[in-house]
């Protein structure tokens, strides 16, 4: 894979991982229409490491405070447990259905339809007059976290968006936009690390030195782009909501469907 393609895919991963537009969907459509060949058929997952490290870097202070408070603060312990509870459904279903997801759902038709439908759902939820009960992600209850985790499983369909599913779920369950987005950030940490480790374990033997080089470059680019998004996204959604992302999804998915029809 040429370096410029690796850089483009790294940018796409970093810029879209934490916003509700589906990074996997964008990577798959980009690869399909631009003719990118994914190294080891696992490039999309492995370059997520850059985005993972971006969010860990930005949230280092808060994560350190959570770690220090964990032994003595019941609220902190409940929050950590809530994140783990939300992570479990995707971990179990993802491991069990990994082969089916990769072989059946990873195709441009599924991605395009999911982008359009997800955009419509996000637009509808963004316009609802919801009255939030939770203004801090630290206060989410365990049953609420589990429901968000179950909704996250929808993101195993490429194009749905992990962050989109978790944010919409949190909003409908009573969170405000900032708290919903922040919980999605925290839930991304174990979810993405788990997906990265599982895919690396499954595909390690297939990777060549050239693949590793491409993944390393993609990782670095996604780190920079992901850090930029994480730093500014909370303030953006607090002021403007999610309609911009919804319309982007509909536009990209609609154009992709049109192109697929034309190309036959």
Q: What mean pLDDT, rounded, does the chain reach?
A: 88
The reported pLDDT for the residue numbered 1 is 67
The structure's pTM equals 0.85
DSSP string, 19-72: TTT-HHHHHHHHHHHHTPPPGGGTHHHHTHHHHHHHHHHHTHHHHHHHHHHTTT
Q: Compare 233 and 120 and report the one with higher pLDDT.
A: 120
- Write out pLDDT tens, residues 13-42: 889 988 899 988 898 888 788 776 554 456
- Write out pLDDT tens, residues 34-77: 776 554 456 766 777 788 888 889 889 999 999 999 999 999 99
Would the pLDDT of 102 be above 50?
yes
What's the whole-number mean pLDDT along residues 87-110? 85
Q: Which residues of 124-162 are buried (b: 16+ CB within 10 A; e: fewer)?
A: ebbeeeeeeebeebbebeeebbebbbbbbbbbbbbbbbb
């Amino acid at each position: 894979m040429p370096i410029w393609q690796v850089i483009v895919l790294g940018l796409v991963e970093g810029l879209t991982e934490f916003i509700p537009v589906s990074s996997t969907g964008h990577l798959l459509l980009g690869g399909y229409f631009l003719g990118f060949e994914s190294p080891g058929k696992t490039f999309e997952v492995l370059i997520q490491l850059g985005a993972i490290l971006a969010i860990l870097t930005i949230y280092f202070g808060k994560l350190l405070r959570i770690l220090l408070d964990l032994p003595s603060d019941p609220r902190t312990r409940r929050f950590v447990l809530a994140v783990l509870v939300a992570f479990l459904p995707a971990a179990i279903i993802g491991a069990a259905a990994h082969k089916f997801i990769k072989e059946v759902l990873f195709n441009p038709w599924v991605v395009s339809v999911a982008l359009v439908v997800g955009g419509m759902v996000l637009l509808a939820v963004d316009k609802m007059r919801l009255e939030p009960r939770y203004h801090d992600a630290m206060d989410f209850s365990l049953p609420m976290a589990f429901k968000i985790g179950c909704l996250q499983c929808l993101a195993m369909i490429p194009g749905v968006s992990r962050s989109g599913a978790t944010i919409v779920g949190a909003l409908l369950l009573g969170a405000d936009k900032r708290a919903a987005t922040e919980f999605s950030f925290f839930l991304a940490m174990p979810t993405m690390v788990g997906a990265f480790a599982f895919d690396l374990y499954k595909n390690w033997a297939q990777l060549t030195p050239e693949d590793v080089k491409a993944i390393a470059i993609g990782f670095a680019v996604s780190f920079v782009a992901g850090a930029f998004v994480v730093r500014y996204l909370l303030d953006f959604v607090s002021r403007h909501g999610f309609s911009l992302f919804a319309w982007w999804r509909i536009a990209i998915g609609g154009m992709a469907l049109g192109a697929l029809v034309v190309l036959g």
